[in-house]
Amino acid sequence: MENKRDKAVFPKKLLNNFMEENNEKWINEYRKDSNFTKGYYQTLENFFKFKDYAKKPFNLFNTSDVSKYIEIMIENGFSINRIDYIISNINTFKKFLIEKHPDVFNENLLKDLLELKMGKPEKKYIDTQPLNLVQLNYAKEYIKSNIRTEYIFEILYQLNIRKQDFEICLPQYADRENMIFKKKDKIIKYNSKIQELLSKINTVSNFKATFSMIPDHLTKIEQYLKIKGVYNENRTLTYFDISKTHEAYFIKCPNCGIEYENISSNWALAKVDFSNNYYLVCSKCKGEPLK
């Protein structure tokens, strides 16, 4: 893992040789008031030299701003550990500035920043909860209004992939004939729901969905659920909640071994020829010999 991290390089053409003046001032202040290694501060300086941040002070950042940097790290082969390390550094720096300059830095600045992490969940996200039936159906209602939100939600909900594997499950890597996503030597099978969604996306120009968009789009779903009065105001909807939701609502067919959502259209009753017992099997196995 360390060797892979050391080989990864952020494209120099995307970096300035300077930082926005406020960001430089705040980092210098942080350096004087803390005691980290030289490499730690260098990580922050490199982050703020990203060309997209040339004129943007840190107190005006949102999660999408950080996501742009993370996307480029992913594209250039940075390890999960390295990406998570940088996110942690940014988060610690943010906490310092909120405490030091409460008049400049809102306490809710980048509140979903840690959701961009790709490794193990932070302690605050360990207490995950699946959506209940009412919440799930409101979520499904909302995502119909935005094809990107729908794609992100359904990929997570239908496939229950690891967060870092989202970059494999993109339309350009779909093998429609075999119903798999394939990127280099990595393969992820998908179901008929995703197949339908891919057909829908074919009609959308310039469609784009990335791993780093996940927090923003889950926040939109969360806000809709709160508007409907069905979601706790103090909870944040996370990737880990969607994973738990999949576990709560998907069943593995005992005949073919494929998981399907537990809605009536996906299932049928079937029986073995020599028995009077009926078993629940997926609709695709209906009429097929039971194994």
pLDDT reported for residue 45: 96
- The average pLDDT across 260-270 equals 93
- Residues sharing a CB contact under 8 Å with residue 129, sequence separation 6 or more, in sequence order: 235, 241, 244
* C-alpha separations of 185 from 8, 128, 155, 162, 188 in Å: 19, 32, 20, 16, 10
What's the chain's length in residues? 291
Domains of the chain, CATH where assigned: 2-119 (1.10.150), 133-247 (no CATH), 253-285 (no CATH)
Which two tokens mark 117?
């992490």
Between CA 162 and CA 211 the distance in angstroms is 11
Give the model's pLDDT for residue 223: 94
CB 233 within 8 A of CB 92: no
Mean pLDDT, the chain, as a whole number? 90
Q: Is the pLDDT of residue 123 over 70?
A: no
pLDDT at 126: 53
- Interacting residues of 190 by C-beta distance below 8 A, sequence separation 6+: 158, 159, 169, 174, 179, 180, 181
What would the two tokens of residue 23 be?
A: 């960001």
- Residue 175 three-state SS: strand
What pLDDT sits at residue 2?
Answer: 39
Contact 181, 174 (CB under 8 A): yes
Q: Model confidence over 64-82: pLDDT tens digits? A: 899 889 889 988 888 888 9
| pLDDT category of residue 3 using cuts at 50, 70 and 90 | very low
Count other Cβ atoms within 10 Å, centred on residue 145. Answer: 10
Looking at residue 21, its amino acid is E
Report the pLDDT value the prediction gives residue 230, as an integer from 0 to 100: 97
Does the pLDDT of residue 119 top 80, yes or no?
no
What pLDDT digit, counting tens, does each position of 12-56 carry?
Answer: 999 999 999 999 999 999 999 998 889 899 999 999 999 999 999
From CA 236, how far away is CA 242, in angstroms rounded?
Answer: 11
Judged against a pLDDT cut of 60, whether residue 121 lies above it is answered with no
125-184 pLDDT, tens digit each: 557 899 999 999 999 999 999 999 999 999 999 999 988 899 899 999 999 999 999 998
